[in-house]
Amino acid sequence: MISTQAVEVENSGRQYLLLNQSRYANQQLLPLTAVVNSRDCLEIGGCDVTKLVEQYGSPLYILDEETLRRSCRQYRDALKRYYPGASQVLYASKAWSCLTVCALAFSEGLGIDVVSGGELYTSLQAGVSADKIYFHGNNKSLSELELAIASGCTIVVDNYLELQTLASITGKSTAPVRIMLRFTPGIECHTHEYIRTGHLDSKFGFDPNQLEQVFAYVLQQPALNCIGIHAHIGSQIFELQPHQDLADVMVEWLRIASSYGLPVKELNVGGGLGIRYTESDDPPSIDDWVKTVAEAIVVACQSQQLPLPKLLCEPGRSLVGPACVTAYTVGSRKEIPTVRTYLAVDGGMSDNPRPITYQSRYRAVVANRMSAPLLETVTIAGKHCESGDILIKDALLPKTEPGDILVVMGTGAYNYSMASNYNRLPRSAAVLVSNGEANLILQRETYQDLIRQDRLPERLLG
């Protein structure tokens, strides 16, 4: 049987999209609202993807509002369900920092984790209230710390230099500054080494062997109000055990903090839940992840006879990753007999640097011929002057022609936020789709934008 990209079936009045013959395996690769319309085109958020490309050009990030909102609610509601104490979900905005994504997360009751003055500024401009912003970073500059203090957000302190700097600059301010302390938990997990942060050999956080010295130091600083402890073990993690272990480790820290008389009330367990990029990925659900973490903390607190802290977590990828696809226009083709066929698209490593950076795998569909039979395996190449600029090594697709619209799935996390202007490609546009409406949320850069910061010394002018 020839497999087709999509088959529609009616199930309880809802259209399901079946890809590559495997309904459950592949449906989850596309945003929740994805359907195939009567023109055999992919529709997301009620918008025909091919029409979006006609209107906004390509490459185009297409963000499905419903999928994003739904994952925010899943985290929030699961925490309420499984954790009897107070809780707060923060969106790790490094996954995609822009006004709309921050505003959407905030409107769902989430706070925001920021890691730079730029992300902090973006969140504030998006209308996020400072008491729901947590500022991370292993080397915050003085001006970033000053901005953080002026905004009133909580600062997640990473090292002694930062503690000393804060103590010296907050001495001048009236109210003590709210801080959390980040420790390296010493937990190994199976993910790419670049996105692993929990093992002891990590640039992030205080060494947990110095826990007591750090607590003692903080206690002597009247200008610092230490409200909590933070740790994060890594990203794109499919195992639950490391998160459970982390909960135990952190509650032990909590016990030590309280023995020092440090009024630590918040525990932030970081993010890290992986998502499905291909049919072979099988991450736990948001619900399972939250249940594991919440129950582990409850049990550990009971055994240590500690009151439940306010529980914070800060997912990024699992909130925004599955909510977005990137649409490209297919261009040139190079067939190397018995070797491979390259199919080039009009973007690549500048809009999605993950394959070249982490050997990440993606899947794609041809959005203008969703039920066409899948006839060939091709390598999707970007248009950059770099042989490694390959988006997908082996993509099973229908026969394509120049002008076809190729949609790469699961591109919401760490794509736009890591995008570059390599080869002076203008950064792509992004639209938010919902109920048949599309709103431009990031304008496509122009050639003028590319040279906006350039300065040409006068002596070089002809």
Residues 277, 285, 234, 97, CA torsion sign: positive
**Looking at beta carbons only, is 214 or 413 nearer to ligand LLP?**
413
Shortest Cβ distance from residue 192 to ligand LLP (Å)?
7
The gap from C-alpha 408 to its chain's centroid, in whole angstroms, comes to 16
Beta-bridged to residue 60, according to DSSP, are 327, 429
**Strand duo 47-48 + 60-64: pairing:** unpaired
Cis peptide before 59 (omega within 30 of 0): yes
- Single out the residue of 195, 256, 440, 450 in contact with ligand LLP (rule: CB under 6 A): 195
Which tokens hold the place of 180?
């959390």
- Single out the residue of 97, 236, 368, 428 in contact with ligand LLP (rule: CB under 6 A): 236
Beta-bridged to residue 309, according to DSSP, are none
Q: 112 near 106, Cβ under 8 Å?
A: yes
Residues 329 to 358 in contact with ligand LLP, rule: CB under 6 A: 354, 358
**x-or-dash pattern for ligand LLP, window 196-225, by CB under 6 A?**
-x----------------------------
Which tokens hold the place of 68?
């994003």
**x-or-dash pattern for ligand LLP, window 304-333, by CB under 6 A?**
----------xxxxx---------------
**Looking at beta carbons only, is 343 or 392 nearer to ligand LLP?**
392
* CB burial string 229-245: b at 16+ within 10 A, e below: bbbbbbbbbbbbebbbb
User: If you ran DSSP here, which 8-state letter would residue 353 be given?
Assistant: -
- Residues sharing a CB contact under 8 Å with residue 282, sequence separation 6 or more, in sequence order: 238, 276
Q: Is 324 a catalytic residue?
A: no
Residues 415 to 454 in contact with ligand LLP, rule: CB under 6 A: 418
As a whole number of Å, the CA-based R_g of the chain is 24
Q: Which of 102, 153, 301, 385 is catalytic?
A: 385
**Looking at beta carbons only, is 354 or 427 nearer to ligand LLP?**
354
**Looking at beta carbons only, is 97 or 197 nearer to ligand LLP?**
197
**Looking at beta carbons only, is 52 or 408 nearer to ligand LLP?**
408
Work out whether 92 is an interface residue with ligand LLP (CB under 6 A).
Answer: yes
Closest C-alpha among 422, 425, 433 to residue 449? 425
**Looking at beta carbons only, is 17 or 95 nearer to ligand LLP?**
95
Which tokens hold the place of 136?
């991370």
- Single out the residue of 95, 148, 177, 367 in contact with ligand LLP (rule: CB under 6 A): 95
**Looking at beta carbons only, is 272 or 398 nearer to ligand LLP?**
272
Work out whether 271 is an interface residue with ligand LLP (CB under 6 A).
Answer: yes
Work out whether 158 is an interface residue with ligand LLP (CB under 6 A).
Answer: no
- Size of site (CB under 6 A) for ligand LLP: 24
Residues 375 to 394 in contact with ligand LLP, rule: CB under 6 A: none
Using CB under 6 A, which of the segments 170-178, 270-278, 399-407, 450-458 binds ligand LLP? 270-278
Closest C-alpha among 184, 185, 179, 206 to residue 263? 179
The gap from C-alpha 205 to its chain's centroid, in whole angstroms, comes to 20
Rounded CA-CA distance 311/208 in Å is: 20
Shortest Cβ distance from residue 117 to ligand LLP (Å)?
17
Q: Which residues form the interface with ligand LLP (CB under 6 A)?
A: 92, 94-95, 113, 136, 195, 197, 232, 235-236, 270-273, 314-318, 354, 358, 413-414, 418
Question: Which residues are the active-site residues?
Answer: 385
